[in-house]
């Protein structure tokens, strides 16, 4: 990882969170919903270059039985440098130290990002189960 990139665990501003999401190809979120959601995170990892948010990931859930990995995003201008791996390594470290042995950890993987998550022990649930969602 570039030695000038700063790894942190603070809550990013909702506006910069949304800007990174859109730049990384994820959907934009309502600003107030973003503020609430970010504050409700169990764990956040951020990567900054000269103060600018260039990568992040979060863990949400109940802190006991269920954990969900979300918002894994790296600015396209900085992809291909192992930053996604660095984010996932931080998240995996958090889960290894905080999630009880019976916890269920899930994520929704966009292709081809599923290859990254496999490196950290995540497996597809199909055919036993499938991911589902409901949009508002």
- pLDDT over threshold 70, residue 1: no
**Which tens digit of pLDDT belongs to each residue from 32-57?**
999 999 999 999 999 999 999 999 99
Buried b (16+ CB within 10 A) or exposed e, 78-117: beeeebbebbbebbbebbeeebeeeeebebebeeebeeeb
For residue range 76-98, what is the model confidence (pLDDT) as tens digits?
A: 999 999 999 999 999 999 999 99
Look over the chain and give the mean of its residue pLDDT values, rounded to a whole number: 95
What's the pTM value of the predicted model, to 2 decimals? 0.93
Q: 109: Cβ–Cβ under 8 A, 6 or more apart, which residues?
A: 117, 122
Tell me the domains of the chain and their CATH numbers.
5-119 (3.40.630.30)
| pLDDT computed for residue 110 by the predictor | 87
Q: Are 88 and 119 in contact (CB under 8 A)?
A: yes
How buried is 35 (Cβ within 10 angstroms: 0-12 exposed, 13-18 middle, 19+ buried)? Answer: middle
């Amino acid at each position: 990882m570039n030695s000038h990139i700063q790894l942190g665990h603070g809550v990013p501003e909702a506006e910069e969170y949304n800007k990174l999401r859109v730049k990384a190809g994820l959907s934009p979120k309502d600003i107030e919903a973003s503020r609430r959601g970010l504050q409700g995170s169990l764990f956040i990892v951020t990567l900054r270059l000269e103060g600018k948010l260039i990568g992040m990931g979060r863990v949400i859930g109940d802190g006991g039985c269920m954990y969900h990995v979300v918002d894994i995003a790296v600015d396209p201008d900085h992809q291909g440098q192992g930053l996604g791996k660095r984010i996932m390594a931080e998240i995996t470290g958090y889960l290894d130290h905080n999630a009880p042995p019976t916890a269920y950890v899930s994520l929704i993987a966009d292709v081809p990002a599923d290859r990254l998550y496999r490196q950290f022990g995540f497996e597809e649930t199909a055919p036993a189960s499938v991911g589902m969602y409901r949009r508002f």
